[in-house]
């Protein structure tokens, strides 16, 4: 399944604990096929005691989530949708909603 997800996209989580949540893509790691999405898949990272952090403690961070668990939101359909690619006359590739055909921006 081709994944056309970029940084700053608004996506919907379609599987896992955060299913149904909509948020912004902060980072995409194409090699690993994963993305970090704001507020999604939060985990606690434990910090060792250090001079800077004498108490140690824990930090809440977003762990990467598989791209296959995300869908770009079509503003027209108002939900996460599968996307296709359309090549415009100027050669630029645009993502389109497979349901309604709306242009979802340049890839
Ligand atoms: Zn649509």
23-68: per-residue pLDDT in tens? 999 999 999 999 999 999 999 989 888 888 888 888 899 999 999 9
pTM, entire model: 0.84
Say how far apart CA 25 and CA 61 lie, in whole Å.
14
Q: Is residue 39 part of a domain?
A: yes
Q: Is residue 65 part of a domain?
A: yes
pLDDT at 66: 96
- Phi first, then psi: give them for residue 67, nearest 5 degrees: -60, -30
Q: Is residue 15 part of a domain?
A: yes
Cα of 101 vs centre of ligand 1, distance in Å, is: 6
CB atoms within 10 A of CB 11: 24
Residue 99 pLDDT greater than 80, yes or no:
yes
Domain of 50 in residue numbering reads as: 10-106
Cα of 45 vs centre of ligand 1, distance in Å, is: 38
User: How many distinct structural domains can be found in the chain?
Assistant: 1
Cα of 1 vs centre of ligand 1, distance in Å, is: 18
Non-local CB neighbours of 48 within 8 Å, separated by 6+ positions: 56
């Amino acid at each position: 399944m081709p994944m056309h997800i970029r940084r700053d996209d608004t996506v919907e989580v379609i599987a896992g604990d955060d299913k149904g949540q909509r948020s912004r893509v902060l980072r995409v790691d194409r090699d690993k096929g994963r993305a970090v999405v704001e507020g999604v898949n939060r985990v606690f990272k434990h910090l060792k005691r250090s001079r800077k952090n004498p108490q140690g403690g824990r930090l809440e961070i977003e762990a990467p989530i598989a791209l296959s668990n995300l869908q770009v939101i079509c503003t027209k359909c108002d939900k996460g949708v599968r996307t296709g690619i359309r090549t415009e006359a100027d050669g630029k590739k645009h993502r389109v909603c497979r349901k309604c055909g709306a242009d979802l921006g340049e890839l």
